[in-house]
């Protein structure tokens, strides 16, 4: 692996106008990093990557690179782009093996971070670097949010997240696991205890339902719940997953690795409309996942899913609509059914707090720098935007960290 990475680094043209950097949502200075890497300054590279993106090591594994840095590499026009993700992964993973923390002057001001996903981790690290006294409140027992409880081990090893957790701890960040805010502790309690600002990065963890008969049966599960701990489920051999986004691909590939042998994705449109990244679909096919296109469930029964065939029709305004085809009802047999049709935010915090506005689907309303409608409370990540990506959560959260710092400084003026 090492030689391949060096060879890839040597292919970089160090462009004057690096398109790879422009293609990266957090503008990683890739060409500079690669040059430093080849000159033997791996720790400086690691530091630069970490300071620009505290989740660099995660992004190197899970970003859709083909649409971002690698998709913009000029070499990709004629041959294959530099495999930037592999180089970034090598550097960032190496860097996290060492305690590289600089001595930071503590400023004795507390900030509460609710949720330890990419958004919460980014804010925690950015503010800890400025000397703030940070406490992360996390509802579950491990940190990482979707990184730990959603993205499967074969795509993002837990060892990487444990290194990140060590980093947080060595930076002096306190973590309260198994602490759901909005239950025993409310936002008002946190302010009562002297925290200067509160950040909400609680993501989207409420599965969307189909609202059809049979959804409560014992062999029906929601994707986001299943991925939390797949080994506790007994899915049987034949599984049908409803939905065709990235989450559905993760579920399908996980089910195959956990003993199911006949794993199918049911989608009401055709292959060209699949929402998942092309590479995730390709991997799913390689792993053995089968696709049932133009089918929509109408009821879940003990034997599987009652479904009908669908077709896409275009109305006179050019709008596309999915229609059920008459007399096409059939039973798709399955031992288990997993619904992967999206997630929305839960309301634990906002239903117990006055002054934090949410929109029609429960996402927290913020201004352009992440200020919610309640003074001193900020938010970013999926709980604001709906389901997005890790790098998007990092990009916005960097800005929000800055806004929190400015807000706290303004309290003294
Ligand atoms: P989350 O990661 O959801 O973290 C929120 C955290 O808040 C969780 O730990 C939760 O337990 C905690 N929490 C919630 N409520 C409370 C409360 N009241 N009190 C305390 N804690 C609370 N993106 C990519 O870029 N690449 C991928 O390959 C990719 N794959 C994905 C696969 C799956 C299965 C899923 C579901 C998403 C995937 N994503 C991927 C999207 C990406 O993971 C999310 O956009 C990102 O994690 C959002 O970060 P976040 O910090 O906003 O929220």
User: Are residue 211 and residue 339 in the same domain, yes or no?
Assistant: yes
Q: Is residue 102 assigned to a domain?
A: no
pLDDT in tens, 49-89: 999 999 999 999 999 999 999 999 999 999 999 999 999 99
Q: Is residue 221 assigned to a domain?
A: yes
pLDDT in tens, 214-264: 999 999 999 999 999 999 999 999 999 999 999 999 999 999 999 999 999
Q: Is the pLDDT of residue 1 over 60?
A: no
Query: For the chain, first and last CA: distance in Å?
Result: 54
The Cα–Cα gap between 61 and 327 comes to 46
User: Are residue 58 and residue 18 in the same domain, yes or no?
Assistant: yes
CB 362 within 8 A of CB 393: no
Distance 306 CA to ligand 1 centre (A): 32
Q: Is residue 100 assigned to a domain?
A: no
CATH of the domain at 212: 3.50.50.60
User: Are residue 198 and residue 219 in the same domain, yes or no?
Assistant: no
User: Are residue 288 and residue 240 in the same domain, yes or no?
Assistant: yes
Q: Is the CB of 382 under 6 A from ligand 1?
A: yes
Q: Is the CB of 61 under 6 A from ligand 1?
A: no
Q: Is residue 104 assigned to a domain?
A: no
User: Are residue 267 and residue 333 in the same domain, yes or no?
Assistant: yes
Q: What is the dihedral of CA 281, 284, 288, 291, to 10 degrees?
A: -40
The domain in which residue 258 lies consists of 207-343
User: Are residue 201 and residue 263 in the same domain, yes or no?
Assistant: no
User: Are residue 265 and residue 312 in the same domain, yes or no?
Assistant: yes
Q: Is the CB of 254 under 6 A from ligand 1?
A: no
Q: Where does the pLDDT of residue 412 fall: very low under 50, low under 70, confident under 90, or very high at 90 and above?
A: confident
The Cα–Cα gap between 128 and 286 comes to 43
Q: Identify the pLDDT of residue 359.
A: 96
Handedness of CA 146, 153, 271, 307 (dihedral sign): negative
Interval 293-303 mean pLDDT: 97
Residue where a domain stops, chosen among 343, 369, 393? 343
Distance 1 CA to ligand 1 centre (A): 30
Where are the strands (E) in 76-222, listed by range?
A: 110-114, 133-137, 174-176, 197-200, 206-207, 220-222
Q: Is the CB of 181 under 6 A from ligand 1?
A: yes
User: Are residue 41 and residue 82 in the same domain, yes or no?
Assistant: yes
CATH of the domain at 74: 1.10.1060.10
User: Are residue 213 and residue 339 in the same domain, yes or no?
Assistant: yes
Q: Is residue 103 assigned to a domain?
A: no
User: Are residue 159 and residue 252 in the same domain, yes or no?
Assistant: no
Q: Is residue 52 assigned to a domain?
A: yes
Q: Is the pLDDT of residue 316 over 90?
A: no
Residue where a domain stops, chosen among 343, 376, 401? 343
Q: Is the pLDDT of residue 2 over 80?
A: no
pLDDT in tens, 358-378: 999 999 999 999 999 999 999
- Model-level pTM? 0.95
For atom 32 of ligand 1, which residue has the closest CA?
Answer: 151
Long-range CB pairs of 23-27, under 8 A, 24+ apart, other chains included:
23/67, 23/68, 23/69, 23/70, 23/71, 23/72, 23/73, 24/68, 24/69, 24/391, 25/68, 25/391, 25/392, 25/394, 25/395, 26/52, 26/53, 26/59, 26/391, 26/394, 26/395, 26/398, 27/52
User: Are residue 235 and residue 383 in the same domain, yes or no?
Assistant: no
Atom of ligand 1 at shortest range from CA of 346: 15
Q: Where does the pLDDT of residue 174 fall: very low under 50, low under 70, confident under 90, or very high at 90 and above?
A: very high
Q: Is the CB of 308 under 6 A from ligand 1?
A: no
Residue where a domain stops, chosen among 95, 122, 155? 95
User: Are residue 331 and residue 225 in the same domain, yes or no?
Assistant: yes
Show the tokens assigned to 362.
């429960």
Q: Is residue 362 assigned to a domain?
A: yes
Distance 396 CA to ligand 1 centre (A): 14
Q: Is the pLDDT of residue 99 over 90?
A: no
What's the number of domains the chain is made of? 3
Distance 117 CA to ligand 1 centre (A): 5
CB 171 within 8 A of CB 101: yes
Q: Is residue 286 assigned to a domain?
A: yes
């Amino acid at each position: 692996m090492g030689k391949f990475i060096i060879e890839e680094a040597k292919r970089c043209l160090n462009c004057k106008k690096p398109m790879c950097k422009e293609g990266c949502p957090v503008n990683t200075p890739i060409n500079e990093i690669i040059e430093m890497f080849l000159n033997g300054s791996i720790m400086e590279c690691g530091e630069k990557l970490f300071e620009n993106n505290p989740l660099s090591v995660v992004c190197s594994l899970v970003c859709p690179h083909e649409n971002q840095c690698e998709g913009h590499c000029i070499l990709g026009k004629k041959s294959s782009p530099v495999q930037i993700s592999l180089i970034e992964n090598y550097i960032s993973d190496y860097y996290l093996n060492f305690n590289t923390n600089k001595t930071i002057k503590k400023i004795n001001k507390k900030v509460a971070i609710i949720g330890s996903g990419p958004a919460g981790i980014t804010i925690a690290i950015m503010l800890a670097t400025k000397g703030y006294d940070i406490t992360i409140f996390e509802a579950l027992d491990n940190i990482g949010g979707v990184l730990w409880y959603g993205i499967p081990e074969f795509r993002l090893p837990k060892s990487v997240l444990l290194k990140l957790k060590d980093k947080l701890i060595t930076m002096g960040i306190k973590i309260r696991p198994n602490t759901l805010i909005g239950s025993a502790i409310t936002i008002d309690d946190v302010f009562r205890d002297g925290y200067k600002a509160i950040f909400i990065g609680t993501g989207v963890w409420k599965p969307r339902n189909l609202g059809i008969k049979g959804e409560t049966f014992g062999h029906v599960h929601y994707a986001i719940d299943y991925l939390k701990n797949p080994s506790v489920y007994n899915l049987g051999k034949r599984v049908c997953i409803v939905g065709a986004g990235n989450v559905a691909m993760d579920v399908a590939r996980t089910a195959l690795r956990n003993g199911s042998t006949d794993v199918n994705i049911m989608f009401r449109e055709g292959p060209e409309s699949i929402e998942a990244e092309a590479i995730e679909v390709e991997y799913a096919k390689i792993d053995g996942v089968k696709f049932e296109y133009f089918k929509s469930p109408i009821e879940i029964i003990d034997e599987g899913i009652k479904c009908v065939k669908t077709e896409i029709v275009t109305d006179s305004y050019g709008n596309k609509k999915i229609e059920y085809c008459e007399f096409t009802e059939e039973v798709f047999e399955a031992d288990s059914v997993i619904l992967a049709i999206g997630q929305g935010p839960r309301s634990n915090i906002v239903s117990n707090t006055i002054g934090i506005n949410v929109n029609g689907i429960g996402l927290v309303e913020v201004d352009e720098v992440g200020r919610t409608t309640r003074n001193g409370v900020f938010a970013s990540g999926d709980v604001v935007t709906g389901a997005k990506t890790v790098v998007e959560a990092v990009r916005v959260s960097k800005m929000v960290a800055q806004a929190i710092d400015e807000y706290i400084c303004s309290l003294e003026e």
